Structure 1
Amino acid sequence: MIKNRKYDLVVVGGGIIGTFCAYHALKKGKSVLLLEKDSQPHEASIRNFGQIIPSGQSLDTWFQLGRKSLKIYKELQEESAISLTKNGSWYIASDEQEMAVLEEMASQFQALDYASNVFSAEATLDKNPALNKEYVKGGLFLPEEASINPVLLVHQLREFLIKHLGLHYHPSCPVISVEKKRGIAMISTSKKQTFWGDHVILANGHDTQFLLPEHYPTTDLKICKLQMMRLVPQRIQFSANLLSGLSIRRYESFKSCPSYATLKTSDEQKVLQSKGIHILLKQAEDGSIILGDSHEYVSASDESPLGFEISAEINELILSEAKKIVTLDSWELDSNWIGHYLEAKQAEVYTKTIDQVIHIVNGIGGKGVTTSPGFTYEYIQQLYSI
């Protein structure tokens, strides 16, 4: 067995939660080792829109964590640690009921001192020339919101931590056991390495059946399968991220609006919602359009019912609805993919401490990019205040 030095913190999982846990611990002056089972992270932290939209989060807790995350992202951008696009977010109302919800939401954001502006249909169309006139009844713009390239984010941040904050990183290093020994955490890998840490954080994504599986309550955790696509580069330019009326109907923050309960749902919308479809559009740096997405859930105890197929039916439903919202130069498909993430059913994130030194942090679901920096900041602060 190769015996390595002891660290203040060992983090298992190089995705967004694990990397930001490492970041905040390093900022506190802790020695940190980050372990990643693959040559590089390639799961949920990579396969997402990369939209940082606190406006969609529940207002009681996660909205504020999203705001904290925005602040952290912008600080990292100033240090040239990541590539952040400060482009804002537009919610587009497709009927008068959705417009009423947007107006109420704007009032709540004003009370929370969160910048937002309601625009008429005419003004929304003027600022977003790709939108179709028949769809738009008005819009809500959040100028402080932003986006990142999810394919690059964790790699850019990790390299910054290695270069400037002293992070130790081991890729292609699957962990096979974690236990408390001699009062600290002992971490063993498939390569017969042993690492030690005063604390270890397990942020290892949806593969919960391999490492301490008895500590993941399958009744409280579910796995979500998403389907997304990329369209070929376009001449037309989006000024911001675009979120549809279906997003207004899906996101937690809007459920706090009095008019939300009065929303009527058409048969066509019911079909889309049954597949977990809501339409998001984001333009990448090369002009291509990232479009999606859908949501299908199963218990964390068995992922196999989700299958591995990319559904042609879901693709067609997404494209058909998107064509009602925007006009593009081309609807040619460049690529298509699925992703999986773990989501807590009740608490919105799953955390557990075992033997005072082993900490599970998982199940943050689809709000990972928006809230992980702020959530992990709070988590690390609490861990080191004990």
Structure 2
Amino acid sequence: MRVLVVGGGVLGTMHAWQAVQRGHEVLQIEREQQARGASVRNFGLVWVGGRAPGEELATAQRARELWEEIGRQVDGIGFRANGSLTALRTPLELAVASEVVARDDAAERGLKLLTPAEVRAVNPALRGEMLGGLLCERDAAVEPRVAQPALRQHLVASGRYSWLPGREVRALLPHGVRDDHGDVHEADLVLLCTGAVLGGLVREIVGEVPVRRVRLQMMQTDPLDSRLTTSIADGDSFRYYPAYRGAALDALNAEQPQSAVAVEHKMQLLMVQRLDGSLTIGDTHEYDEPFTFDVDSAPYGHLVTVAESLLGRALPPIRRRWAGVYAQHTDPAMVVHRAAIADNAWLITGPGGRGMTCSPAIAECTFVEAGL
């Protein structure tokens, strides 16, 4: 079959990958010259530990397997099975971690509770004071700014893949699409992976979809002169991932309020060291549109304070700051919005903050559902 993928982000690129792996011919169209949305503005985390039991965890686990397989084939994506470590700095945070590791699925998630000495043995760069750490051995990372180009380069070598940037699809046809240059591209199957772009063609064909947009702020430092052997989270991350829900988290929320800045910007700390040694640090969550066009300074001050307290030292200079917007299903139990919108077309969007983690498995499921 000839498959046409609309969207050059990680979700679209993973659908192109699946199509080529299954022997189909693929044309991938992107309205920008390169993907510019959430796919290149994230942490590059393959995050398993915090996923909700059931479909979300199963999807993340399968995606983790697929990322590792892809990493063996495409060295340029920077896949590494580095795991993650959530720093526990208060008794209430320690209680949440203790409750989580006592559950039946802790081993499946690769979760282990570490003492302070064990934290420093696993990740010597963490020199700050803490009561312990929650290690997730299943978590991993890739390089978000280079992963898509590396994947596309590998796909081109197959001889069954073409990349067409700078084209916006304007019409869905019975046997393909028409772009904003007036060119018609024939296809047996069209997959719309448009990310947070839900107007235009999507609205014309489908109308409103059960997806909202979320804005975030992040930053990146100059290289750190030591190695972070794992990705890092702080105890506030417990508040944002469904795996940690329970009585201990209820007590944390009731008795350990976040700072005013963290509450206002709905913050947690995640920190990933890039292959060049720099640190990607975030993030915030803004849900109510219209989003501000400003990049606020206060969240960055909060992130610097927390990161430095975990590292026990000053951060390198901040190299860049940015904002991004991603699409998230309005039903938190749904991993993604996937729907057949015509005899020859599907819309796949709204994985939320799970996009980088789950996209390989989401794409695999699309082809299974489509019978391909």
TM-score (norm 1): 0.89
Displacement of 1:343 = 1.0
What is residue 60 of structure 1 aligned with on the other side? 54
Q: State the partner residue of 1:362.
A: 349
Determine the structure 2 residue equivalent to 1:3: none
- Deviation at residue 155 of structure 1 after TM alignment: 1.0
Instruction: Supply the AA of the counterpart residue of 1:105.
Output: V
Alpha-carbon distance between aligned partners in 1 of 2:198 and 2:268, rounded to the nearest angstrom: 28
Asked if 1:207 corresponds to 2:197, the answer is yes
Q: Against the structure 1 CA distance between its residues 288 and 355, is the aligned structure 2 distance closer, same or farther, given a 3 Å change threshold?
A: closer
- 1:315 and 2:300 matched: yes
Pick from 163, 166, 182 the counterpart of residue 160 of structure 2: 166
Aligned match of 1:91: 86
Q: Is contact 1:27-1:165 (8 Å) kept? A: no
1:212–1:236 distance in 2 versus 1, CA, 3 Å: closer
CA distance in 2, matches of 1:344, 1:100: 31
| 2:244 is the counterpart of 1:259 | no
Moved more, 269-278 or 31-40: 269-278
Q: Secondary structure at the match of 2:65?
A: helix
User: What amino acid is the match of 1:316?
Assistant: G
Determine the structure 2 residue equivalent to 1:129.
124
After superposition, residues 70-219 of structure 1 pair within 5 angstroms as 70-81=64-75, 82-108=77-103, 110=105, 113-134=108-129, 136-164=130-158, 166-179=160-173, 181=174, 185-214=175-204, 215-217=206-208
The letter of the residue matching 2:168 is P
2:233 corresponds in structure 1 to: 243
Q: CA deviation at 1:165?
A: 5.8
Matched, 1:350 2:337: yes
Per-residue Cα deviation, 1:72-125 (whole angstroms, up to 9, x for no partner) = 111112223532122111111222222222123223365653433211123213
Note the C-alpha offset of 1:268: 3.8
Q: 1:130 to 1:293 in 2, by over 3 A?
A: same
Structure 2: how far apart are the matches of 1:109 and 1:14?
39
Q: What SS does the aligned partner of 2:287 have?
A: strand
Find 1:332's aligned residue among 304, 313, 317: 317
Q: Note the residue ranges of structure 1 that are not aligned, 5 or more in a row.
A: 1-6, 300-304
Can you list the C-alpha shifts for 1:288-339, whole angstroms capped at 9, x where unaligned? 111111110135xxxxx21322111221222223233222454421111111
Deviation at 1:260, TM superposition (A): 2.2
Instruction: Note if 1:291 corresponds to 2:286.
Output: no
Q: Give the match for residue 229 of structure 1.
A: 219
Aligned-residue offset at 1:13: 0.4
SS in structure 2 at match of 1:353? strand
In structure 2, C-alpha distance between the alignment counterparts of 1:313 and 1:133, rounded to whole Å: 22
Deviations 1:154-196 (A, max 9, x none): 11111111112621221112111113x3xxx330011111012
Match of 2:263 among 245, 250, 273: 273
Q: Give structure 2 stretches of 5+ with no counterpart.
A: none
- 2:299, 2:328 → 1: CA distance? 22
Q: What is the identity, as a one-letter code, of the residue corresponding to 2:203?
A: P
User: 2 CA distance for matches of 1:56 and 1:349?
Assistant: 17
> Which secondary structure does the structure 2 equivalent of 1:113 belong to?
helix
> Which residue type is aligned with residue 122 of structure 1?
A
Report the 3-state secondary structure (helix = DSSP H, G, I; strand = E; otherwise coil) of the residue aligned with 1:360.
strand
Q: Secondary structure at the match of 2:288?
A: strand
CA distance in 1, matches of 2:8, 2:123: 37
Paired AA for residue 22 in structure 1? A
Residues 140 and 30 (structure 1), Cα distance of their counterparts in 2 relative to 1, 3 Å cut? same
Superposed CA RMSD in Å reads: 2.0
Equivalent-residue separation in structure 2 for 1:328 and 1:372 (angstroms): 35
Q: Residue in 1 aligned with 2:39?
A: 45
3-state SS of 1:99 partner: helix
Q: Normalized against structure 2, the TM-score is what?
A: 0.92
Assess, with a 3 A threshold, how the Cα gap between structure 1 residues 115 and 140 changes in structure 2: closer, same or farther.
same
Letter in 1 for 2:360: P
Letter in 2 for 1:35: I
How many angstroms apart in 1 are the aligned matches of 2:106 and 2:47? 18
- Note the C-alpha offset of 1:47: 0.5
Shift of 1:267: 4.1
**Alpha-carbon shift at residue 362 of structure 1 (Å):** 0.6
Q: Equivalents in 2 of 1:294, 1:191: separation in Å? A: 38
Once residues 193 and 140 of structure 2 are traced to their aligned partners in structure 1, the CA distance between those partners, rounded to angstroms, is 25
Name the SS for the 1:384 alignment partner. coil
Between 1:105-114 and 1:334-343, the stretch displaced more is 105-114
Map Cα deviations across residues 11-60 of structure 1 (whole Å, 9 max, x no partner): 10011111111111222222221111111111110000001111121121
